[in-house]
Amino acid sequence: MKKILISILVFAASFQLNAQSKTGTIDTEFILSKMPELTQVQADLKAYNKKLEDELKIKVEGYQAKIKEYQDGATTLTEPMKKTKQEEIIGLENDIAKFRQNGSQLVQLEQNKLLQPLYGKIGKALEEIAKSESYTQVFTITTSGLAYIDPNYDLTKKVMTKLGIKVEEGK
């Protein structure tokens, strides 16, 4: 019975030693800010935002033209024609309001779409480093709210080096 108990304790202790995990941290936002591809993403996002603004401007100009047309011909229009024109104007108002509401969401979706490949590159480099150095867990500094981080386990510089981004001293 003693031998069984001792062997169970030895087995448990050896299992415990093998089950230790190695954790690290990464600052993905810092890496992203240093990636040369970010300049192109920002330019593309700016162009997309300009496109949306131009679309809104065209909608507003069309709306204003309909109002002017309605005001100029209000005295000559029959009641059914007035009602039709008013419904068109209300429809345009609703369309403009909806476009303005959805505009910020559309910009956010486009930003996510443009940044996804960059985050993918960071993730792939991180995965390769984590596997080669036997990390079991890696926390993102910017969203984790960690109170203390040992700089020896911060993988930010290693990922930047793997991606070919110049690592500045001080980070």
**What is the tens place of the pLDDT at every residue in 41-94?**
999 999 999 999 999 999 999 999 988 888 888 788 888 888 888 899 999 999
- pLDDT of residue 143 exceeding 50: yes
pLDDT category at 5 given cuts 50, 70, 90 is very low
Number of separate domains in the chain: 1
Cβ neighbours of 122 (radius 10 Å): 22
Flag whether 32 is in a domain: yes
**What pLDDT, in 10s, does the model give residues 98-127?**
998 898 899 999 999 999 999 999 989 988
pLDDT at residue 163 is higher than 80: yes
The predicted pLDDT at position 114 comes to 95
| Residue 78 covered by a domain | yes
- Domain-embedded: residue 8: no
Which CATH number does the domain housing residue 109 bear? Answer: 3.30.910.20
Average pLDDT, the chain: 83
Which helix (H) or strand (E) segment is 83 a member of?
helix 79-132
* Rounded Cα–Cα distance for residues 97 and 104 (Å): 12
- Confidence (pTM): 0.68
CA atoms within 13 A on the CB side of 16: 6
Sequence letter at residue 79: E
Q: What is the DSSP letter of 74?
A: T
Contacts 24+ apart (CB under 8 A), 37-40: 37/117, 37/118, 38/118
CB-CB contact of 26 with 156 (8 Å) = yes
Lowest average pLDDT, out of 6-15, 28-37, 144-153, goes to 6-15
Please report whether residue 132 resides in a domain: yes
- Boundaries of domain holding 93: 20-162
Contacts of 56 (CB under 8 A, 6+ apart): 96, 99, 100, 103
